[in-house]
Structure 1
């Protein structure tokens, strides 16, 4: 089974809001999904995102493939960086404390607020 992380459209006509979901790649866009990871609202300025970061990283580590849009959202919110750092820890490149410190530096630089 191929698993994708993609957007599920909700909201009114001409005012879409999207759920970020983990779904089987064969299921329809607004169909059945495995887990909801967050919400993306493109109508606010800047676009707002609410994410369950640990769950998103967990699915990426298991091999789920994000769509291009979700990959962009994850990149802006630090999910891909967190995954990259955890893979470095797993391979023994650096320790968990160093990875945590690097992620905190990134958070301060880009003024992101994420629970660690």
Structure 2
């Protein structure tokens, strides 16, 4: 079974809000899903993004493939960086403390 991390559309007509969900790639866009990872509201300035960081990283480490839009959201929120650093820990290039320190410095620099 191929697992995707993608957007599930909810909300009114012309005012969509999206849930970021993990689902089977064969299920329809607004169909059944495995787990909800967060929400994305593009209609406010700046867009509102609420994520469960640890669950998102966990699914990426298990091999779930994000869609292009979700990949962009994850990149802006540091989920892909966290996954990259944890891969380095798994291979022995970093310790968990170094990983957390690098992520914290990135978070302070690029997140408000």
TM-score range with shorter-chain normalisation?
over 0.9
Runs of 4+, deviation exceeding 6 Å: none
Secondary structure of 1:32's aligned partner: coil
- Is 1:28 paired with 2:44? no
Q: How far has the Cα of 1:44 moved from its partner?
A: 1.0
TM-score by length of 2: 0.98
Q: Mark the runs of 5 or more structure 2 residues left unpaired by the alignment.
A: none
Uncovered stretches (5+) of structure 1, i.e. residues with no partner? none
CA distance in structure 1 between the aligned counterparts of 2:87 and 2:17, rounded to whole angstroms: 32
CA distance in 1, matches of 2:5, 2:31: 13
Question: Counterparts of 1:14 and 1:111 in 2: how far apart (Å)?
Answer: 29
Distance 2:111 2:33 in 1: 32
Distance in 2, Cα, partners of 1:36 & 1:85: 24
